[in-house]
Amino acid sequence: MGRPPEHFMGYVHLYSSRVLDIMSEQDGCNSNGHVEVPVRAPKKDEVLIKVEAASLNPFDWKMQKGVMRPILPSKFPYIPVADLAGEVVEVGFRVKKFKPGDKVVAFLSPFSGGGLAEFAVAKENLTVPRAEAAGLPIAGLTAHQALTQSAGVKLDGSGPRKNLLITAASGGVGHYAVQLAKLGNTHMTATCGAHNLDFVKGLGADEVLDYRTPDGAALKSPSGQKYDVVIHCATGTPFSAFEPNLSPNGKVIDMTLSFGSFMTFAVKKLTCSKKQLVTLLVVPKRENLDYLVQLLKSRFKPSHVHKPHPFSMFSSTPLPSPPNQTVPTPLNDTVHHISSLITQPNWEQSNRLKSLVSHMPPHLASDVIARHSSNVELGVRFFTWVCKQSTYCYDFHCRFHLLKLMVFRNLFVVAHKAVVFLIKECSCNGEVEIVKLMGALDEMREVGFRLNYPSYSTLLMCLAKLSMGRSAFFVYRRMVDDGFVVGIVDYRSIVNALCKNAFVRAAEMVLSRILRVGFRLDVHICSSLVLGSCRLGDLKEAFRVFDIMSEQDGCNPNGVTYSVLIHGICEAGEIEEAFQLKEEMSEKGCQPSVRTYTVLIKALCDIGLTDKALGLLDEMVVKGCKPNNHTYTVLIDRLCGEGKIQEANGMFRKMLKDGLFPGIVTYNALINGYCKEGRVVSAFELLSVMERRNCRPRIRTYNELMEVLCIVNKPYKAMLLLRRVIDNGLLPDRVSYNILIDGFCKEGQLRMAFDILKSMEALGLGPDGLTCTAVIDGLCKQGRTEEASGVLGLMTKKGISPDEVTLTALIDGYCKIGEVGTAFMLFERMVDRRCLTSPHIFNLFLDVLSKQTRLNETNAMVGKMFKYGLVPSVVTYTILIDGLCRVGCTKDSFNMVELMKQGGCLPNVYTYTVVIHGLCQLGGVEEAHALLFKMPLLGLSPNHITYTILVQAHVKSGRLDCAIKIVSSMVRSGIQPNNRIYHVLLAGFVMSGNKEGALSSFHDVAAKYSLITKNDGDYFAEHVFREIDIGDAFELLDKIKECVGSTVELHNSLAMGLCKVGRMSDAGHLVQDMVIRGLVPDKSVCSLIIKHFCEEKNFDYCLGFMKLILDNGFIPSISCYCSLILGLRHEGKVQEAQRLVCDLFRYANIEEKAAVSPYIEFLVKEDEPFEFRELLRQVEQMYQNERPII
């Protein structure tokens, strides 16, 4: 094929200087025509193409409309279009990949154009085979670069999952973006017109929105997920429309090349916003075009050609441009209807209106307000109302978007009043919301919208309320810079805000200005200064200001001043002086307010004087001062802290009776109280009450519940509670993960603990000292000290400094497995790091050395203690005395006791207990007996261990009667015998009966093992319970009842001991005997019995056992119910299981049955470990999409 003629008819724009002059006459920019231009020969690396098809892009019609002027085009005449397909007619001498006759696709430079012609020249490196893809180059390359470079999507499916929004998804760039994104690990939401919904779904979009509907206009994902990336291909939609739906670190990749997008890009960069707008400049690469062509051959759908246009049609018409896609045509009927309805009386109560606005997006709400621009009051009323009614105007971002739209419509009066509303709303939601609002108002300031005086004044008051002194001062400075005259009310707010943050010097500077401008001091400003001085801990200055107030007319202290000063005095611990000031307050005719009483009540609670605090509550009620939420919450929290859950619950009910609505702090206090008591069901009932009363629990609430589930050995249930956390839109924090890790470590489930730790690190939370200490302690308890040491190394690598608790746990682990040398190495590390703050670690080593009777090394360790400036504690001396007793130096041990007294470290009950144990070991039982009864004269009361040692000594000596007398003396002293004492008595009782083979056996066991240590005591008890006859147990019960009285502890101890050695039937008999005698069985014993017989599938026994307990007024634990209900369900006995659930509700006095049912189901559900790993994965995914801004 030869070269074409030197000239041909090509389509060009007739841009000229004349055209630019007549732009205002709407003529020049649409002048098109055909002219002949010379066909340029290809250069060495170019090909000449006979054009068969060309594709218009937004860049072309924008340039025709003058959007890009004065920068582009750079010269005239200009031939538009960069995408073309055709046949190669000539090649440059260095071109190797093409020859004349090849069908190709080419991409020209958009800045020089040249594609809308009969012939065009293209670079070889931007030309690929495939004539059917004229629309591919710009659209495909733009989509490819936006996804792979700007969005970070890996097209091989690897990489983290991202949520994408693609606007104008049926367009050129959009439909390629959808297909490419489908290759990556993405979830896609796309927008398009109604007639293209099926087409875009067919491309692979997960969710498709019609942009003309309210849902489409709001750009919200139907699945509720926030977008990590928006591929923005449509014009006319501002960044603010996307912002409410972006994840905290989300970005909008804008390909519309508008002035507004560049301005937004600049503002976001300057303000260091985490939500960014990215403008895309396409940099074409041959390898990317090759990749796209291969995809077009194999799996992509080519550009959808709606209608081909002949070349000749463009002689005098403008280039076709798309409609504005993302700003929907206003729903005039809806807007008109709503505009009419809000003019009617009581329109806020109209159900029809509520229905119409329930999904109204901000731009339609602004249309309604604009229609009533002359009625400012109505406009403001509608703004505040629609913000509470519409799901699309409910959150902060949507409300602020509506505010922006009103500003853009020049509705400034309504906008300023709306700002006042938003300030008040945000201040109610806390510091984070008000900071976001101030940042957004700063953005508005950049486009010319300034706050008016009411807005500034309201903002200052709200900042003072939230104790944000620094922010209040900056707002004050800006208010002055904007030319507003600051009034006395504003000065009061500024001084109050500064003083709440203890910025007293700054407040005094503002005070000087107040006096200079002619205002006088008043009680509000002086009270704030008293507050500031108290916050600084400068009571002397606070009293000085207080005295000045008392001397000045019109500035006498009021109730607020007295309350502030009383609070400051209480904070300093001077409670008596605070009460004196309260009396002085009453004498001067200023009655104490609810705040005054609450401050004093809290001060009394803090020092443990709860009864006096309750008396003060009665006093305030008698004097007509009604307690508020805070008053009741302080008392509820204190009562729960003391374990008085019934009294706390009564206070809670009294609060409700008084017409007060508990807040989240009150609920948290009560839930914490139930959790400490182990009343899991009641805690969950309270959680359901919170939810029903629209008091949304916070993560702290759930952390309390997770912790109690871990305490009752149900860490898997605590894991499942994460599901509820996620469903409520919350994210677990580091505390949540630490609770779970600690719970699984204590249960020995280290594999699960490590899975949680990995998940925690994947979320970017990172372990802290508490996390690592829990893991190290768990590993050490299993003897896995090397792995624990590895965790310590990991801590150091991550920059986490191990504290004394961490290192002590590891040292303890090494000591327990006999690796004292390694423990000493760690000890030296602690010394080097100056981690030693107490003698605890020395005591740990002393204990090991004393038990090994290595006295010389023990003495050397004591010397080291003194060297490092640590004073031996009573524990240190007790360990040393124990070591002396172990080697038979009882005389030296008494000398050590005297040395303690001379050094001002008085011996405690444990010190004398060690001495008594040493005497008993050496046969000095009578001397030990005398020392026991001498202890009260020394001001010390023997404890359980002291009595246990002597009881064991008498039993070993065959003096059971003496042992029982000691137990009787113990009871008279107000100490109830514990399990170990009962175990020894049981052994002695059997021995005294001379049962065949029992005497020698028990003598051997009693001689070999000591009850002073836990392991020995456990082995001793196990041996006893394996050998005794149940008749002996009942005989002992009768004997103890004669000399002690109550046998409830013995009953439970015997039943538990039998359970531990597997004698469940005998344990069941003992529990039934307890119930018949009216004694309360231990819930853990009942749980073990029920669990055992459930595993044996003896459900009839279990149901009869439960019925006996319930009929006698005793409520089994939740574990009993869980085991039995789960077992019955496995056996298909659904009705019996349901009856048990009903019994649980009835006997536990559960009122909110419907609300608590899901939690009961949650508690009785069988644990499935694979489910927890899936839950961890979901939490990780949620964190990637909803990572909170730190």
Residue 442 in this model has a pLDDT that exceeds 80? yes
Beta pairing partners, 192: 210
Give the pair of three-digit tokens for residue 1042. Answer: 């004669």
- Over range 339-356, report the average pLDDT: 85
Higher pLDDT: 509 or 985? It is 509
Does 70 sit behind a cis peptide bond, omega within 30 degrees of 0 on the bond before it?
yes
Q: According to the per-residue pLDDT averaged within each range, which of 306-320, 515-529, 1127-1141 is highest? A: 515-529
Give the pair of three-digit tokens for residue 588. Answer: 């001067």
Q: 104-114 burial by CB neighbour count: b if 16+ within 10 A, else e?
A: bbbbbebeebb
Query: How far from chain centre, in Å, is Cα 31?
Result: 61
pLDDT number for residue 1154: 56
Helices (H), 409-430: 412-428
> 208-217, 393-402, 1008-1017: which range is least confident on average?
1008-1017
Higher pLDDT: 472 or 297? It is 472
Give the pair of three-digit tokens for residue 920. Answer: 């008993």
What is the DSSP code string of 674-736?
HHHTT-HHHHHHHHHHHHHTT----HHHHHHHHHHHHHTT-HHHHHHHHHHHHHTT----HHH
pLDDT number for residue 838: 64
Phi, psi of 44 (to 5 degrees): -60, -30
> What is the value of pTM for the model shown?
0.51
d(CA 1087, CA 1109): 12
Q: Per DSSP, which regions of 863-912 are E strands?
A: none
Give the pair of three-digit tokens for residue 769. Answer: 């000292």
DSSP 1012: T
> 328-342, 491-505, 732-746: which range is least confident on average?
328-342
Higher pLDDT: 17 or 731? It is 731
pLDDT number for residue 305: 54
d(CA 948, CA 935): 15
d(CA 147, CA 181): 7
Query: How far from chain centre, in Å, is Cα 590?
Result: 45
Give the pair of three-digit tokens for residue 255. Answer: 């390909």
d(CA 719, CA 716): 5
Per-residue confidence at 1059, pLDDT binned at 50, 70, 90?
confident
* Residue 168 burial (C-beta neighbours within 10 Å; 0-12, 13-18, 19+): buried
Q: 451-487 burial by CB neighbour count: b if 16+ within 10 A, else e?
A: bbeebbbbbbbbbbbbbbbebbbebbebbeeeebebe
Angle between helices 855-867 and 840-851 (to 10 degrees): 170
Which CATH code of 3.90.1010.10, 2.40.50.140, 3.30.70.260, 3.90.180.10 fits the domain covering 7-135?
3.90.180.10
What is the DSSP code string of 372-412?
TTT-HHHHHHHHHHHHHH-TTSSSHHHHHHHHHHHHHTT-H
User: Which CATH architecture describes the domain 137-298?
Assistant: 3-Layer(aba) Sandwich (3.40)
Tens-place pLDDT, residues 677-702 = 777 777 777 777 777 777 778 888 88
Q: Per DSSP, which regions of 884-988 are E strands?
A: none
Residue 1117 in this model has a pLDDT that exceeds 70? no
Residue 311 in this model has a pLDDT that exceeds 80? no
d(CA 552, CA 1006): 83
Residue 902 in this model has a pLDDT that exceeds 90? no
Q: Where are the domains of the chain?
A: 7-135, 137-298, 943-1045
Beta pairing partners, 38: 7
Name the helix (H) or strand (E) containing 88: strand 83-91
Give the pair of three-digit tokens for residue 732. Answer: 């677990």
Tens-place pLDDT, residues 391-420 = 666 667 778 888 888 888 888 888 899 899
Does 244 sit behind a cis peptide bond, omega within 30 degrees of 0 on the bond before it?
no
Angle between helices 362-371 and 376-389 (to 10 degrees): 160
CA distance readout (Å), 375 to 453, 477, 709: 21, 33, 58
d(CA 938, CA 936): 5
CB 709 within 8 A of CB 717: yes
Give the pair of three-digit tokens for residue 954. Answer: 């008498």
- State the sign of the Cα–Cα–Cα–Cα dihedral 1130, 1133, 1136, 1141: positive
pLDDT number for residue 14: 28
